[in-house]
Structure 1
Amino acid sequence: MRMEKSISSVEYNATTGEDVSSNKHGTTQDQKDMWRVGRDQELNRNFRFLSVLGFSAVLMCTWEAVLFGSENGLTNGGKGGMIYTYLGGLIGFSFVILSMAEMASMAPTSGGQYHWVSEFAPPSCQKVLSYITGWVCVLGWHTGIAGCSYTVANMLVGLIAINYPDSYTYQPWHVTLLVIAVAVAALAFNTFLAQKLPLIEGIILIVHCFGFFGILIPLWVLSPSVSPSEVFGSIEDRGGWGNNGLSCLVGLIGPIYALIGPDSAVHMSEEIRDASRVLPMGMIWTLILNGSTGFVMIITFAFCVGNIDEAMESHTGFPFIQVFLNSTGSVRAATGMTIIILIMQFCAAISNVATTSRQIYAFARDRGLPFSNFLCKFQVNQTFTVPLNALFLSLIIVSLLSLINIGSSVAFNAIMSLGTAALLSSYIISISCVRLRRWRNQPLPPARWSMGKFTPIVDSISLLVLVVIFLFSFFPVAKDVTPQSMNWSIVIFSAVTLFALAYYYAYARKVYSGPVVRVRKME
């Protein structure tokens, strides 16, 4: 299955030792990495460390996500349980990010997980496992766009509700139309301002950090004080699971949704200068920055939430907007604070669109999708250089996902669960392949960022954490469910996986070989 070649000075001029780095081709190491995976450099490498950090940190929006995803935590864990669940999720998911960062240093390519599976899986199953991994990644990142757009749309509706309480009547289709509008705006941004994305991501990173204090300080100063025992000593099972521990495990979906995403920069790796070093460092520092700010914010929110029932029954649609309103006593202040989060979430949608389009582009150039020749084309002119066809496909998929909202009042939980489960499954498969390879003492590419002798332990812990989170990501928010409140993510996830398998055995296995057939051996 593997087609390995020895490096030659004819095929790869970087072996002469000359510094031939440029904005187009990156550093000498970037050219070596691209030569090894058998790909030509097609995109400009204009991302640096700060822009990579801004890209992944803003896409995660961790401290923002713990606020708009707080309903899940308040239902399954209460004030204290929400904090402990986040802390446990942060510690556990840190091992996952460390494992992913090392793999990113081994093979920094836009394909990400499906490339790693293709290269590192046993030859007997590398094609089909790589193919399925590519499909679940496509599903996961499209769900990310839908989740961001859905959150922005609902926050807009919530702001209208508190500013015009007597004249506005909510209708589900309002949110659906707003989701599509937000997705269109994010797509336009990634088309016409694509070449400015690194600069803009760096600026947004500053807003992300200052916005954190813009929310934190008013909550600290204006909220009524409560005793620490009321917060840290309170674990509640409002979901009706009959056990506080089980309730907190179900509530894991909230913090994991807030923490998932540092690997997003992997799909931008062919646009990162010195990617095999900068990419893993960006992932680690994103985890440190967002993990710590998220922890501070969730503790603050737990102290400020007050009456949980009042917050969760708010007509704003989000408990955190009601908490802002209660803490400040001002509609204008609550509106201003919510707008900060709304802007950051829109920026997250922009980053999600960029990541998703690169994922589709990479998978399509390996002929992993229907109409691959159409989807892997780049639109190149003086205004933009982007996979335009892939971008428009993303818009269509997100528009279809937005229809979930019309039939279900808990659509956001389903979207959160679906995206989390899809990406987690890709992590499980890729880390398992690397762990198996190490267990068998088979060679792996060198990594410029490595955990050394601790890598096998970290990989093993990562897999245990991922399996637990994956299973609970399909649980509904509460035990007693109706067709409207059921978490239907398992249905969508299963349908996409089955379709991918059917398409693979019907057609794709004849044309899809996986990236491994181009991988060359470095000597």
Structure 2
Amino acid sequence: MDDTKIADASIQLRDNASAELNEDPVLSEKKGTPNDQKDMHRMGKIQELRRNFRFLSIFGYSMILMATWETGLTSSIANSRCSSARSRSTTVPPHRVWYCRTKADLKHSTLIIPLLNGGTGGAIFVFLGTAVGMGFVIVSMAEMASMAPTSGGQYHWVSEFAPKEHQRFLSYVVGWLCVLGWQTGIPSIAYLAGTQIQGLIVLNNESYVPERWHGTLLVIAVATFSIIFNTLLARKLPLVEGTVLVLHIFGFFAIFITLWVLAPRSEPSDVFGQFQDNAGWGNVGLACLVGQLAPIFSLLGSDAATHMSEELRDAAYTLPRAMIWTAVCNSILGFLMLVTICFCLGDVESVISTATGYPHIQVLYNATNSRAGATVLASITVILAVFGCVNNVATSSRQLFAFARDNGLPFGAFLSRVQPGWDIPLNSVLVSFAVAILLSLINIGSTVAFNSIASLGTCALLSSYIISISCMFVKRWRNEPLLPSRFNLGKAGIWVNGIAVVYLAIAFIFSFFPSFPHPTPDLMNWNILIYGVVIIFSLVYFIFKGKHVYVGPVEYIKKDV
């Protein structure tokens, strides 16, 4: 009898192994690992997307989307122009006029924001402080991502970790904040790529006069390429991430080495010792806090990979480690590039008055003394910005899909539909494209208005981080049981969460500050107004419709798993 049982068991094991070997590889890839299946079952979600990302591809994906060194070098988000301030000597002292010229003429570069508010020394040390603060944020989010690896990200975590009486409402608000943050990100990055192309045209053709509508058409072209890549070529995305990651790293060294070898260099005492209040806040410390908007923007987006977690194999283990390695590597590269630029600005007058609209293009031209050389080097950042937009579309559409799946948005059934054979939320991708086009058209009428809306994503994402990490902090403070995690902070968790919340609160407040005190309407940071309007709209929708259909992800959780 025992021999018979052993024989039967052997046959069963052999049949199971044979079934696994003969299993459709597409189906196997879609289901993921047993841990992936267990996590999806616990969260009450159906696996609809293909799990074709691994560690290297999701690491490359996050590195390219965060693009810290590229953003610090070229970033598209500037709060406003300064042209009207040039002539107001009562507001801007004569020795600070060149900074205003920078804000007027070089409206695309957040390199100018920390130089304006803190000087080179302030820019460098504020970046370090921001990297440390955001490090606590990313570690906190990595732990939550391991507990609940879902495309919903923050709003799902809030639904599970918030006090029971506030779960539905807070989760709903955070969902809208994430939609706002990521949907505005697509035109922002496309604008960076498109207007850099304009800058390169100016560099090579001095007779060209850039127009806003030219830039808008280029923005639409970049967004269109990103949509095509996220639909027709969606299955190739993981493969491309590894390839573009190589360009991200080698492109950094190409620019880094070129500047250190060819560009004139400032003295270390001048670079590290200059702490200046060039905007006129009356206090260098306050100026530095205002200037942190630039490094925050360059280090933002730590939640990007979480929204791809339903397409990542063994997500609960791989995702948090990819998030942390991304933060570490991008922070190092971003810091090195910032120090390099501060040392190698060279002829400041030519940099701030450049017709290209981008300081880094002029810096590269001054260093190489070659239009061709500067064009090749600057083209690296253009290509990386284009693929950053590709990744932003992927993240934005997955977040939109997840929130719609939980009935948090109008037309939820339409937005959350995954077409058979595509294995992507095609409708959410196309809606994200439509939103990007509509927002980019604003630039034709007013660049100030466009920049205000585009930079709103920073405030929205920061507030979503604050709420989600605060919920985890409160849960720990009350000694409530936590979900099992394959990336556990242990007893240090409450301290990590607490420091992250304090830092985020400070960053959130200063994200609404203008770059200058006593701003005129064209210098004002209008984010707080637009942010308030979106919050009010989401609350009104919740009162009249949302609360009747949105129950929150926690209601689908299987408690016995």
TMscore range, shorter length: over 0.9
Change (3 A) 1:465 1:122: same
- Matched residue, 1:12: none
- Matches of 2:543 and 2:344 in 1, distance apart? 54
Does 2:235 correspond to 1:185? no
Does 2:26 correspond to 1:26? no
Q: How does 1:229-240 map onto structure 2 within 5 Å?
A: 229-240=269-280
Give 1:439's match in structure 2, choosing from 477, 494, 499. Answer: 477
- Matches of 1:239 and 1:413 in 2, distance apart? 20
**Partner SS for 1:398:** helix
What is the TM-score normalised by the length of structure 1?
0.93
Change (3 A) 1:336 1:412: farther
Does 2:97 correspond to 1:97? no
- Matched residue, 1:427: 465
- Matched residue, 1:448: 486
- Matched residue, 1:86: 127
CA shift for structure 1 position 260: 1.0
CA shift for structure 1 position 409: 4.2
**Partner SS for 1:31:** helix
- Matches of 2:298 and 2:118 in 1, distance apart? 16
Q: Name the aligned partner's letter for residue 185 of structure 1.
A: F
Give 1:135's match in structure 2, choosing from 156, 159, 176. Answer: 176
Conserved in 2, the CA contact under 8 Å of 1:173 and 1:406?
yes
Give 2:198's match in structure 1, choosing from 157, 160, 176. Answer: 157
- Superposed CA offset, 1:276-298 (max 9, x none): 01000000000111110111110
**Partner SS for 1:46:** coil
**Partner SS for 2:455:** helix
- Matched residue, 1:55: 61
Conserved in 1, the CA contact under 8 Å of 2:168 and 2:551?
yes
- Matches of 2:513 and 2:199 in 1, distance apart? 26
**Partner SS for 2:28:** coil
Conserved in 1, the CA contact under 8 Å of 2:265 and 2:346?
no
Conserved in 1, the CA contact under 8 Å of 2:154 and 2:175?
yes
Q: How does 1:68-467 map onto structure 2 within 5 Å?
A: 68=74, 69-165=110-206, 167-381=207-421, 384-410=422-448, 414-415=452-453, 417-467=455-505
Change (3 A) 1:258 1:77: same
Conserved in 2, the CA contact under 8 Å of 1:60 and 1:260?
yes
- Matches of 1:188 and 1:328 in 2, distance apart? 36
Conserved in 2, the CA contact under 8 Å of 1:257 and 1:416?
no
- Matches of 2:554 and 2:125 in 1, distance apart? 42
- Matches of 2:351 and 2:542 in 1, distance apart? 47
Identity %: 53
RMSD of the TM alignment (CA)?
1.7
Does 2:510 correspond to 1:510? no
Conserved in 2, the CA contact under 8 Å of 1:407 and 1:484?
no
Using CA pairs below 8 Å that are at least 6 residues apart, which structure has the higher relative contact order? 1
Change (3 A) 1:208 1:274: same
CA shift for structure 1 position 403: 3.4
- Matched residue, 2:533: 495
**Partner SS for 1:482:** coil
- Matches of 1:225 and 1:44 in 2, distance apart? 50
What is the TM-score normalised by the length of structure 2?
0.87
CA shift for structure 1 position 308: 4.1
Conserved in 2, the CA contact under 8 Å of 1:99 and 1:462?
yes
- Superposed CA offset, 1:387-431 (max 9, x none): 111112112222222234334444675356311111011000101
- Matched residue, 1:14: none
Gaps of at least 5 residues in structure 2 are 1-15, 21-26, 75-109
- Matches of 1:206 and 1:253 in 2, distance apart? 28
Larger radius of gyration: 2
CA shift for structure 1 position 231: 0.6
Does 2:77 correspond to 1:37? no
- Superposed CA offset, 1:336-388 (max 9, x none): 1110001001111000000000001000011110111111111233xx33211
- Matches of 1:310 and 1:33 in 2, distance apart? 56
Change (3 A) 1:431 1:44: same
